Structure 1
Amino acid sequence: MTPSEVTLREYGPAVSVPLGAEAGRALAASGVLSSAAPDPGRDGHWSLRAGSRVGAVRTPGGPVVRIMPKTPVRRLFFLLGFSLDPARAWRDSREGTVDTGAYDDVVPALAHAVERRIEAALRRGVLQGYREVEESALVVRGRIREAEQLRRHFGRTPPVEIAYDAYTADTAENRLLRAAAERLLRLPGVPGPVRRRLAHHRVRLAGAAPLIRGQELPRWRPSRLNSRYQPALRLAEAVLRGSSPEHRPAGADPLAVDGFLLDMNRLFEDFVSVALREALREHGMVARLQDVHHLDTAGLVRLRPDLVVRAGDGRTPVAVVDAKYKVEKADGLHNADLYQALAYATVLGLREAHLVYAAGRRPERRHEVRGTAAGPDGRGVRLYQHSLDLSREPGQLLAALGQLAGRLAGDRPDRRS
């Protein structure tokens, strides 16, 4: 008998679950899990193992699959909130987290956080703005679209092809908030009180047109007028981008896998990069995220480190950092990561490169590369491995990355006279 719900742990052991072929194929094709395949030892069962994605998804004819994170949910949402908008004070003033209420599961916590942000945005009323409207009308309003009038009606009137600026609630901002509320209302596991408040917000935002699934999200620009909306908008965009699309396995009918997932790999990389960028600004340094370079002179092998630190002129590279959401191995080494860091340092002409891991037995490891030319200090290229313990308090995490930023900017004990 297929269970109504399956709970997996991020990077946990595989679980054998009674599952129909359709639901199993949907999960296998979705990329939601690190592995999903028929269990050879048990007929009618599928072996499911979670990877770096956390959240919940629902399959057709199958169970709701919940993937629990290793990181505490409040800490996870601190990483998300800081990555989305480090400059604003919409994180909780005591712990620096997005308000997740008392919920310790990803989807309920997310729904609560978004609902609270929408409530704060709409507290002073629904934001309205001007939007250009083009339509056919029986009376003239605004200006006549002469070319369309001739093309469609051969110059006859009425109707008249007109264009005008309408003051309306159908803005990009309200469309995003409405779409996020509707998305959350469809997710499994949203608590009843939160669901009712989200439904109320959806009614208040009825003047905004619904988004069409599969199309790009509407673009908005931060301004003084929408400042009260901005925290909610950034979280709403995270909801809509984390929604699972429809998947179509080869030779099969469309299988909808609906839900919300956060990729911990991407979340950790974004947090480390944004936090270092903000800290480096205090040292007058420029940090570029996902800066593209090439390993070969022909430009065929692309390199894309998470963060390249440049001097105040924005041109001269002084440091490179890559974040890895990994646990340190027994010997403390990730050889492929070290090779990658060495490639970054070589291409950028740097004497060192830094790797930041989510956990480790030692706060730092240092490797001096053999065969590399000695620098002014008489040493070869150095590769550093840093550990960032995500169980620490938000302030401690930011302080640790602030210290690393000081080192990247050149304020290191081994460089002082």
Structure 2
Amino acid sequence: MFRSIVLDELQSSADPVLLDPEVAAMLRDTGLVTVLPAHGGMWTVLPAGTVGAVQIGDLLVEVKPKQKVGLGRLLFLLGYAGNPGFRPEDVAGIEDTDLFAALGESLARQGLRALECGALNGYVHVEEALRTVRGRIRVGDQMTRRPGMLLPLEVAYDDFTVDIPENRILRAAIRLMMQVPRLSDDVRWKLAHLDSKLDGVSELRFGASLPAWSESRLNERYLPALRLAEIILRNMSAEAGLGTHSVASFVVNMATVFEDFLTTALIEALDTYRGETVGQYPAFLDEAEPNGRSGARVRMLVDIVHTIDREPAMVFDAKYKAASPGGSYPNADHYQMLAYCTALDVSRAWLVYAGPGNPRVRKIRNTEISVVEFPIDLSQTPECLLARVESLAVASFLEWRIRQEIEVHSAS
């Protein structure tokens, strides 16, 4: 009998549930939830700091993001963080009722559109040993690998084939999705039909890096399917027949997702301004010791820094945290920003929170430093999210320019 457990990301208590010990161990190993023994064969299942879904046989466990961030919005954040060319319509129409069913239906729908006119072909550079000449002979490799031998020949040529990166990524995602238990017969048939249309495409080894591809006029019809396929391959796993159960999991860390999205979006938004935007900016909190013991220094990696003339000008830090009932955030966040401002010699830092609300400026006592709490509501539409980041870029750059003008005026 099918069972479903739905948890909120911030949930701190739950009623014990009856689980098979093997299922409980497999569920814990996914990292989506913590599973603790209760009493009488019961187990307490609680969120473990990640969101997503795990399906083990006939059990589906889902952890929903805070603020009612639906699956479509989550996939947009994931997609945009990896590729700023990702568009909201690439994941449009995805239902939020069942994550795996929604992913399977969406992949089938996008795949059918991509392959409507057949699989895409392209040129692939091939280097191999043949008994006949094809393309050009790689003389250096021939002499190194086969000294004194006439055959086989080390050759290189460009082959026009269906076995291109776009098709390999798409087929890998389709085959991974086909391993998910309890998909509808209709979705499973569509995925099998798509797999047959990609006959001749080599498989991607599990865990291997995805092959590189670039957007072009030729693969334009593939783009929505490719972007969804990459999200699935990077965040999902499925194993048929692990023990006595089939397991599928799609687990993401929302703090990482939010930081990656904000970094990419700010780099795009600040691209038209002077300077350069860098993620994970390296810095030191303390001065170097006279004896040169650099390894003993206090190292910092700042989430996002915009530099102008190679000097830090704007500092941003992404925080995926819930505000207190009174609307305040942890004091430690402000201590951290004070340290960043002091070490980087900037007078304003931007604490970007994932949540609703309006910006708030906190002036630090006995200093010239201010920390701006800047919330971004992730439940908004993708267009509104990007517009919000754009307003952050405009406000931060304008504040920096005003500060520079004041310093120039004071100096004169």
TM-score (norm 1): 0.80
For residues 367 and 207 of structure 1, the distance between their equivalents in structure 2, rounded to whole angstroms, comes to 61
Q: Which residue of 2 aligns with 1:14?
A: 14
1:305 partner SS: strand
SS at 2:88 equivalent? coil
CA distance in 2, matches of 1:23, 1:217: 31
Amino acid at match of 1:23: V
Cα distance change on mapping 1:3 and 1:48 into 2, 3 Å: farther
Whether 1:56 and 2:50 are equivalent positions in the alignment is: no
2:388 is matched with which residue?
400
RMSD: 3.5
TM-aligned CA distance change 1:215 to 1:276, over 3 Å: closer
Deviation at 1:49, TM superposition (A): 0.8
Cα distance in 1 for residues equivalent to 2:247 and 2:69: 25
1:117 and 1:371, CA in 2 relative to 1: closer, same or farther beyond 3 A?
A: same
CA distance in structure 1 between the aligned counterparts of 2:109 and 2:302, rounded to whole angstroms: 35
Counterpart residue identity of residue 24, structure 1: A
Q: Give the conservation status (yes or no) of the 8 Å contact 2:282–2:299.
A: yes
Task: Give the one of 249, 270, 274 matched to 1:259.
Answer: 249
Residue equivalent to 2:311 = 316
Secondary structure at the counterpart of residue 109 of structure 1: helix
Displacement, 1:260? Answer: 1.6
Once residues 178 and 346 of structure 1 are traced to their aligned partners in structure 2, the CA distance between those partners, rounded to angstroms, is 51
Post-superposition offset of 1:337? 1.6
2:198 to 175, 195, 205: 205
Note the C-alpha offset of 1:156: 6.8
What secondary structure, in the 3-state scheme, does the structure 1 residue paired with 2:92 have? coil
User: What are the residue-to-residue correspondences of 1:13-92 with 2, within 5 Å?
Assistant: 13-33=13-33, 35-39=34-38, 42-59=39-56, 63-69=59-65, 70-87=68-85, 90-92=87-89
Give 3-state SS (helix, strand or coil) of 1:274's partner.
helix
Distance 1:48 1:382 in 2: 42
Contact between 1:8 and 1:67, CA under 8 Å: does it hold in 2?
yes
Match of 1:376 in 2: none
State the alpha-carbon separation in 1 of the partners of residues 215 and 53 from structure 2. Answer: 31
Aligned partners of 2:190, 2:303: CA distance in 1, in Å?
39
Instruction: Work out which of the residue numbers 352, 356, 363 in structure 2 matches 1:356.
Output: 352
Deviation by residue 1:67-91 (Cα, 9 ceiling, x = unmatched) = 2333133333343344344446x42
Q: Which amino acid aligns with 1:264?
A: M
Q: How does 1:179-198 map to 2 (within 5 A)?
A: 179-188=172-181, 190-198=183-191
Provide the rounded CA distance (Å) in 2 between the counterparts of 1:394 and 1:165.
41
**Displacement after TM superposition at 1:176 (Å):** 0.7
Q: CA deviation at 1:180?
A: 1.0
Q: Helix, strand or coil: the match of 1:308? A: strand
Between the aligned partners of 1:215 and 1:395, the Cα distance in structure 2 is: 33
Q: Which residue of 1 aligns with 2:284?
A: 294
Q: Distance in 2 between matches of 1:26 and 1:142?
A: 51
CA distance in structure 2 between the aligned counterparts of 1:385 and 1:285, rounded to whole angstroms: 23
Aligned-residue offset at 1:200: 1.9
In structure 2, stretches of 5+ residues that fail to align are: 289-293, 407-412
Query: Residue 285 and residue 197 in structure 1: after superposition, are their counterparts in 2 closer, same or farther (change >3 A)?
Result: farther
Question: In 1, Cα distance between the equivalents of 2:329 and 2:64?
Answer: 27
1:245 and 1:320 map into 2 onto residues whose CA distance is 40
Number of the residue aligned with 1:130:
123
Matched position secondary structure for 1:207? coil
Q: Aligned pair in 2 of structure 1 residues 220, 54: CA closer, same or farther (>3 Å)? A: same
The structure 2 residue matched to 1:344, chosen from 322, 330, 340, is 340
Gaps of 5+ in 1: 247-252, 373-379
**Deviation readout 1:38-60 (Å, 9 max, x if unpaired):** 22xx132221112443322234x
- When structure 1 is superposed on structure 2, of 385-394 and 139-148 the one drifting more is 139-148
Q: 1:155 aligns with which of 134, 145, 149?
A: 149
Q: For residues 125 and 43 of structure 1, do their structure 2 counterparts lie closer, same or farther at Cα, with a shift above 3 Å needed?
A: same
Cα distance in 1 for residues equivalent to 2:154 and 2:392:
61
- 1:241 counterpart = 2:234: yes
Equivalent pair of 1:72/1:104 in contact (CA under 8 Å): no
TM-superposed deviation, 1:165:
2.9
Aligned to 1:386: 374
Q: Secondary structure at the match of 1:271?
A: helix
Q: Deviation of residue 113 (structure 1)?
A: 3.4
Corresponding residue SS for 1:187 = coil
Encode CA deviations 1:77-109: one digit per residue, 9 max, x unaligned.
Answer: 343344344446x423xxxx7223444433333
1:168-183 residue pairs with structure 2 within 5 A?
168-183=161-176
Shift of 1:242: 0.2
Is the contact between residue 145 and residue 161 of structure 1 (CA under 8 Å) also seen in structure 2? yes
Q: For residue 410 of structure 2, what is the aligned residue in structure 1?
A: none
TM (norm. structure 2) is 0.80
Counterpart contact for 1:149–1:160, Cα < 8 Å: no
Offset from partner CA, 1:232-287 (integer Å, 9 cap, x none): 333222211102488xxxxxx9x995322233222222233333332223444532
Identity level (%): 38
For residues 165-224 of structure 1, the C-alpha deviation after alignment (integer angstroms, 9 at most, x for no partner) is 322111122111111111122224544433332222211122211111122222223445
